[in-house]
Amino acid sequence: MQEVLIRTNRQGQKECGNFSFPARPARYHHVETEDLTIHFSLAWRPIFLQAKKCWPNPAEWLKISLSGRPLYYSSLGYGDLASLFHQFYVPIELGPQRDVSANNVNERVAAKMALSKMEALAGANAGAEEKDPLWGKVIGGLRFWNRFFIVKFPSLLRAKVNVLPPDCMLCDYDVFPVILATGCLYNCGFCRFKDGTDHSPRTKMEIESQTDRLLHTLRDEKTMFKGVFFGNQDALGVSDELIFYAIALVREKMPWIKNVFLFASADSLLKKDISFFSHLEESGLNYFINVGIESVDETTVALLKKPVSKDRVMAAWHFINLINQRFPQVEISLNILVNQGLPHSHWTELFELLQEETPFPKGTIYLVPFDEPIGRYFFNKAKAVRMATKRPVRIYNLIGL
């Protein structure tokens, strides 16, 4: 057996926040081999990985998500990322279609080599349990969770969470999924994440069963989750009764959870009465709702094949402002796409709207790099948006659970 260093029950971060490094859960295990540094949850699930040789940046890590999805936490060279967005890294999914920066090619190669070494580690240590019980837990964890990612997690969730709300970065994406509905109200033409099915709420029994089964599987590490994601692509589109049932379920079964994240559409948002948000406020949790506005320009919305009128978009925009101003524990953020091929009116309409607003420090605008790498054009537009508004402005690179 190769020489290893294992430190159990290391101290991480207890609260959510915008750290200058990928945040570890409150407790985790630290393991070093000749080639790798691996951080595990208390249940020996691999959560962070870094190679010791030929690694692009010692401040950058590979994160293994709850579904086994590898995400490279890239600093993009800091600079504009930190100064413009007060962010210190952007999670990037591995794959040839996700080259979001010039450095991403090298990052992807290094990350895939590290993953291969971790997989080889799990497969080449037969009898590890007998030689060293603690090392056996490392190897046993790698094997168990690999099977979990491939087989058990999809059967527990019965939904693919291909994208998480951007506000989840406040909890470093350590969110527990509770699926309230599948499908989407819109199935927009430009969207890579739609499954083409109609929006379909789940029953209370289905929601509780999924929650209980996943909690049981994650029982040894469940307190590492700092938030809950009400899924999937438009959870606000379900009935008020179902949402408050899910809230009560979370408060009963996960009383340490303080943050709830979910997606909404312009139409599902506008169907909610002010009293709904008053009841959210009274529940004592923090709610982060993300709305995919994409553009306030009618020409751009039509180009994106988004089946919503400009009147509805503008009504949603003003309703978002009202909610953000009135309810301290409810924050509604919105997304704006960035791509050089979008019409000039996409930006002129946005800037005109922003300059008319009265200043208030809520309702983050997330700029989404759409079908092109993050480069000088993206950062120039980000600077212009920052100059035009007092709202928080951040970058949203779409990633899944």
> pLDDT of 284-333, one tens digit each?
999 999 999 999 999 999 999 898 999 999 999 999 999 999 999 999 99
At 77, the pLDDT band (50, 70, 90 cuts) reads low
CA distance readout (Å), 326 to 190, 248, 357, 395: 33, 23, 16, 25
Contacts with 68 (C-beta within 8 Å, 6 or more apart), sequence order: 145, 146, 148, 149, 150, 153
Q: Where are the beta strands (DSSP E) in 78-171?
A: 90-93
C-alpha atoms less than 13 angstroms from C-alpha of 240 in its C-beta half-sphere: 12
Does the pLDDT value for residue 190 go beyond 90?
Answer: no
pTM of the predicted model as reported, rounded to 2 decimal places: 0.93
Domains of the chain: 5-152 (no CATH), 159-395 (3.80.30.20)
Closest CA to 194 of 155, 251, 158, 233: 233
- Do 156 and 217 meet the contact criterion of CB atoms below 8 Å apart? yes
Tell me what pLDDT residue 105 has. 66
SS3 state at 32: strand
Query: What distance in Å separates the CA atoms of residue 144 and residue 45, rounded to the nearest whole number?
Result: 8
Query: What distance in Å separates the CA atoms of residue 125 and residue 164, rounded to the nearest whole number?
Result: 36
Tokens representing residue 18 in the block? 């915008």
Does the pLDDT value for residue 341 go beyond 70?
Answer: yes
Q: Where are the beta strands (DSSP E) in 55-123?
A: 61-64, 70-74, 90-93
